[in-house]
Structure 1
Amino acid sequence: MAENQEINIVFASDDNYIQHAVVAMMSIRCNTSEENKLRFFVLADNIASANQEKAQASFADRNAEVYFIPVDDAPFADFFVSGQLSRTAYFRLKMAELLPPEVTKAIYLDCDLLVLGDIAELWTFNMAGQPLAAVPDYGIMASHKDWPRKQQTLSLRPADSYFNSGVLLVDVAAWRRCGYGQAVLDLAHQEDYQHHDQDALNKVFYGKWVELPLRWNVIPPIWNMFLKILRKKSFRQKALAARRHIAILHYAGGYKPWEYREIPSFNAAYYRYFRETAFRDEVMPRMDKRRRGRSISRQLWRLRIADFWQGILGNEEEK
């Protein structure tokens, strides 16, 4: 793997999520050669100066820098938001105009993930001249309900693919040149899409993106080995391989490790990197006791079943 590279990585965060973004940054730093300089750009929504200082202090003497780019959220005032989708999710669509002009390529990452592989491998991935690289969303593509709906609303064919927008390798220069970000924003604002900006990204970049290996965005349907994925042999083989060699563990959806400390198998790494940051003494938020109790039992059961299928089907694939 080539070293002595300068790698640009973009996050979008508000004050509530900045410590989780910094944990993600720390996971990158700990798994990438320090010969490679990391430049973290945070598209920031009112992040307290004290938290900005903690983020920057976390990487002192680590050949990494954290830059905060304030974003005015007023233009997004009438965009759809929910408990799982804040206005900061739309900030990434402005990255081409917000990033310094010398930045021509970047990796965008959601805040709720860990990078367990060498980010330099993702950075040097061959984009084949396309403006975007992303990981297919098997959770949606394997769904008997969601996939036909995506085909209808986004004019996709059954053989087409649909990507998850939590991990993106971006040709920033092409985005600037072609105005892709604004095109996605306009579409997300005009259309009543199920997955809002993610659907709009898939619509605008139809035929203009290249697939990343599944291990670079392992989402809950993969690490929980949902039955809908196991039923499809082509999905199953790739899902098993990705689960064995996770490069990015993405806590997408409602499951967050800071709310489920009792489940070590997928949370231990989060706390290991958390303790390396300047946020280590912070009190972590937790959900209410009744909801947490039900959720813990359900998630533990899912993981036990997933481990069972990994053992059975993994051995089957190796024969």
Structure 2
Amino acid sequence: METYSEKAKIHIVFASDDRYAQHAAVAMASVLEHAKYPERIDFFLLSDGISEERAEKFRTTARRWGSEASVIPVEGEAFSEFYISAQLSRAAYMRLAAAEILPNDIDKVIYLDCDLIVRKDITELWKIPMEGNAIAAVPDCGIMASAKSKKQKRQCIGLTEEDLYFNSGVLILDLAEWRKNKYARKLLSLVQEHSYPHHDQDALNAFFYHRWAALPLEWNVIPPVWFMFLKIIFSKWRASAAAARQNPAILHYAGGYKPWEYAIHVGFNDEYYALFQKTAFADEKMPQFDARKKHRSIRRQMVRLRLGNFWGKLFAK
């Protein structure tokens, strides 16, 4: 039976290359800013070539709340042949090897992507029972509400119409079970054999098929839920999505529109900027626009946000 101690350490892990170290620090700051006992949270950053200067800024940010952060270099070449596309880097695959990279005395971790903001005490997520599973995650409504995406998942990982599919941006991992069953090695072998459209996320869903615990939607609110896309409105997920976006525990900027690529826009990225100013990266030049996305205007996102607010209020119970 899982137990929880108020004085026990909480372990959180990120994975990043040098470009995303700043964003990992902002995500970490969001955890610490909302934690009742930030000094009880330890962080690990799996590093794919992060410079010592930026690694020290990450560690310094943690110390500002009385927390500790370790930056662990990972041999990036071990992941160099894995399939990547769009804005994904090979660092995304490092979460699959966390059980082998992290110290053996750490039996449980929360994995977080770098492009998210935590808005509630992470202790509440840590306390959610995993029901005997080695992994817990939030269902991905964007995939499951799309007929096209579900067809793709049926073809590439065998997902049926009734099956749930999870997003890999927020995970609780029972590392003791991972080590016992050598899950890391089996997963890395799996991704070497396949070019999955959603990379590590597809691999995790294929490997843990029917063997994962579903977390509440509020702990990983992704753009389809935040903006209440029409495919969500016309799906069975409408009410739960509307409720989750009312007060997200984690707001996840998954996809192509990142908060640091635009000037401050209230409701879209103002929380990111407020937290950014509290990190040791606050001297970095902002915004940091990706030249590859020169046609992605923020105007579209702000229209989506207004529509999401309207539909969210209309359908929330």
TM-score (norm 2): 0.94
Distance (whole Å) between structure 1 residues aligned to residue 289 and residue 197 of structure 2: 28
Pairing 1:179–2:182 present: yes
Contact 1:185–1:197 (CA under 8 A) maintained in structure 2: no
In the alignment, which of 49, 58, 63 is matched to residue 55 of structure 1? 58
TM-score (norm 1): 0.94
Q: Show CA shifts across 1:255-303 (max 9, x none).
A: 10011224220211111111111111111312459936x5212111111
Q: CA deviation at 1:67?
A: 0.3
Distance (whole Å) between structure 2 residues aligned to residue 121 and residue 262 of structure 1: 29
CA 1:145 to 1:35, structure 2 compared with 1: closer, same or farther past 3 Å? Answer: closer
Distance (whole Å) between structure 1 residues aligned to residue 292 and residue 192 of structure 2: 37
Distance (whole Å) between structure 2 residues aligned to residue 125 and residue 274 of structure 1: 29
In the alignment, which of 203, 216, 220 is matched to residue 219 of structure 2? 216
In the alignment, which of 199, 202, 212 is matched to residue 199 of structure 1? 202
Counterpart in 2 of 1:103?
106
Q: Which amino acid aligns with 2:129?
A: N
Distance (whole Å) between structure 1 residues aligned to residue 250 and residue 52 of structure 2: 29
Q: Which amino acid aligns with 1:247?
A: A
Q: Show CA shifts across 1:159-212 (max 9, x none).
A: 110000000000001011111122221111111321121111001101210000
Pairing 1:302–2:279 present: no
Distance (whole Å) between structure 2 residues aligned to residue 148 and residue 63 of structure 1: 47
More moved, 58-67 vs 156-165: 58-67
Distance (whole Å) between structure 1 residues aligned to residue 310 and residue 45 of structure 2: 39
More moved, 138-147 vs 277-286: 277-286
In the alignment, which of 128, 148, 161 is matched to residue 131 of structure 2? 128
CA 1:178 to 1:4, structure 2 compared with 1: closer, same or farther past 3 Å? Answer: same
Contact 1:7–1:36 (CA under 8 A) maintained in structure 2: no
Q: Which amino acid aligns with 1:153?
A: C
Pairing 1:67–2:83 present: no
Q: CA deviation at 1:61?
A: 5.0
Secondary structure at 1:134 match in 2: strand
Contact 2:138–2:220 (CA under 8 A) maintained in structure 1: yes
Segments of structure 1 that go 5 or more residues without pairing to the other structure are none
Counterpart in 2 of 1:240?
242
In the alignment, which of 231, 238, 245 is matched to residue 234 of structure 2? 231
Q: Which amino acid aligns with 2:224?
A: P
Q: Show CA shifts across 1:77-117 (max 9, x none).
A: 21112232111111111110110111000000110001101
CA 1:171 to 1:136, structure 2 compared with 1: closer, same or farther past 3 Å? Answer: same
Distance (whole Å) between structure 1 residues aligned to residue 38 and residue 148 of structure 2: 47
Contact 1:96–1:172 (CA under 8 A) maintained in structure 2: yes
In the alignment, which of 17, 26, 30 is matched to residue 23 of structure 1? 26
Segments of structure 2 that go 5 or more residues without pairing to the other structure are none
Contact 2:32–2:38 (CA under 8 A) maintained in structure 1: no
Counterpart in 1 of 2:313?
311
Counterpart in 2 of 1:264?
266
Distance (whole Å) between structure 2 residues aligned to residue 224 and residue 268 of structure 1: 16
Distance (whole Å) between structure 2 residues aligned to residue 62 and residue 298 of structure 1: 36
Contact 1:11–1:111 (CA under 8 A) maintained in structure 2: yes
Counterpart in 2 of 1:153?
156
Distance (whole Å) between structure 1 residues aligned to residue 294 and residue 64 of structure 2: 41
Q: Which amino acid aligns with 1:282?
A: E
Q: Show CA shifts across 1:216-271 (max 9, x none).
A: 00000010110001001x30111011101200110001010011224220211111
Distance (whole Å) between structure 2 residues aligned to residue 107 and residue 26 of structure 1: 15
